Amino acid sequence: MLIYLPLLIVIVVFGISFHIHFVTKFKTMIAFVGTAHVRTFEREYDHLHADLWAFGHRKRKSTRVIFSNAPPFEIFDTHNYEHLLIVYDVHHIPLFFDTENVVHYKLENKTVATLWPRLTTLPSSYKDEYNGIVDTIHL
């Protein structure tokens, strides 16, 4: 009976790994629109349970980052994510999902990222100003 224990452990580990990688869908999209290198962005946000997207960058070989030239809000709508973090400068960003407002992350009076929840009306471009309630977090 103990001979089958390692086989059972291998099957359980394989099942959990398969579920995490192929069945579970991430509910957060992190969109990088800054000018820094994509690998710096990937290293900083690789540990988060989110899909990493890079917009306006040349496609590189990467296992986590998805490259696109479409607007970030269009991808956000079509993939049914719950939150969108738009990163302008690569810094450590603490994510707070308990608010229903747009959150601006500022470092030295400069916005480095913006967290968007799923709203009924989203702006057409990430460069547009948002007229609703905005929370600000200073890093």
Q: pLDDT, tens digit, for every residue of 46-86?
A: 888 888 999 887 777 777 888 988 888 888 888 888 899 99
Q: Rounded to two decimals, what is the model's pTM?
A: 0.78
Alpha carbon of 100 to those of 118, 121, 123, 124: distances in Å?
A: 8, 13, 16, 19
Can you tell me the distance from the alpha carbon of 93 to that of 90, in angstroms, rounded to the nearest whole number? 9
* Complete domains list, the chain, with CATH: 26-138 (3.90.550)
